[in-house]
Structures are given as C-alpha cells and as structure tokens.
Amino acid sequence: MALIGLWWLLSNFYPPYILPSPGSVIARLIAEVAKGPLLEHLAVTAGESLLGLLLGASLALPFGYLLARSDWLEKAVSPYLVAAQAIPTVALAPLIIIWFGFGLISKVLVASMVAFFPICMNMIAGMRRVGRNQYDLMRIFGASTWQIFAKLELPTALPVLLTGLRMGMAFSVIGAVVGEFASSDRGLGYLVNVSAGMMDTALMFVALITLAILGISFHLLFRLVEYLLRGRF
C-alpha cells in the first residue's frame, strides 16, 4: 500500500504519458479485460512460457544427470555451457526467429533456452549431494539402477532441483517476452512494444501488471506442485 501511495503522490507531479495515476491504470486494466484482447495476449505468453519450461526441463534434467554422473563429460562440456550462458538472450532471439520463423516455435525455443541453464545447473548440484558411500550402500543391498535413482538420487537432489525448476519457470516467462520483443503480433511483450511506440504509458503499466500477475500465478502453481512432490518423497 505504501508503494501505491508513493506512486499516486508522484503521479500528481508528472503528466499521464510519463506516470499515470494508479486509478487510471486500474480503470484501463478493467477496460482492456472487458474488451478481450488483454486476456488473449496473456494466454499467448502463458502458453509460450509453459511450453518453453517443459521443453527446457525435458532437455536439462537428463543432460544435467549425465553431467553429474560423469566427471570427464562435465569437464568436456562445461566450457561450452558457460560460453552459451554468457551470450545474452536478447542477442540470440533475432537469430532464433530468423531460423525458425515468427510463430510459436521461435518463442518457445527462446523461453526454453533461458530456462535450460538454471535447471541443468541445479540438477548437477543436487546430484552432487549424493555421497559415494550412499551409492555403495545401495549396491551392497542389490538395488537396481532405477531403485538407486528413485530411492536415493531423486529424493536427495529434489530440494535443489525444485529451486532450479522455480528459477526456470520465472526465466521462461522472461524468455517468452524477449521473443515477443524481437518479433511478434501477439503476447504481453508485443503489447509492451505497441504501448511504448504509441506513448501509451497506461497500457504499458497494464501489460506489466499482467506480467506480474502471470508470474505470481506460476509461482503459486509451482508451490502446489512442490508441496505434492515433497509429500511423495
């Protein structure tokens, strides 16, 4: 409330195209929801983010597992991972769009690229929590590879892995918006671009607030999934 109060106070000293008042932004938000396109843009960005997270996780989890189980493979691949992570997503997004077109695929790929690294790194860190003596004990009792994974590796790595997935979920939204910035005619990133070009600051605030709501919704959804997973393991 204090932040909203400060926002309202500052809005009295600036014209609406610089800093619209909270009341005008809320009124614009209600109007945009009533029109319908805002919810369509929200659905597009949410879909791109979720698909990007799923694709990134489906690649990062097995890849991180292999790197954690093989020291020589990690040493061989780590420099390339660091180099790839150092390249800004904003710089890669136009190239991805050139290669894969202006549709959904390019946005999902950008989102998955951003989500991949935190999930992969946390998978490696989680797996490294398993001690060699624990592996030896499981083998002494005749545990199979699947039993070692399900009963030892996954429960031990799960807290760190969940942190990586939470980060990947947040980053996938950022990646989807970056892809929409580069080229799109739909989505909340597109809406921010359009509002900036029109100097429609109220609409830009609406898009940013909607992005914040999307991020909070994803966070709450993930907390539910995390609760269910912790209950099982």
Could you give the CA distance from residue 92 to residue 94 in angstroms, rounded to a whole number?
Answer: 6
Structure confidence at residue 23 (pLDDT): 82
Q: Are 112 and 63 in contact (CB under 8 A)?
A: no
CA 93 remoteness from chain centre: 15
Residue type present at position 82: V
Domain segments of the chain: what residues?
26-130+161-232
Structure confidence at residue 34 (pLDDT): 85
Structure confidence at residue 49 (pLDDT): 93
Structure confidence at residue 134 (pLDDT): 81
pLDDT-flagged residues of the chain (< 50): none
Structure confidence at residue 69 (pLDDT): 82
What is the 3-state composition of the chain as percent helix, strand, coil, each rounded to the nearest 5? 85, 0, 15
pLDDT digits (tens, 9 = 90+) for 190-213: 888 888 888 888 888 999 999 999
CATH fold, domain 26-130+161-232, is MetI-like fold (1.10.3720)
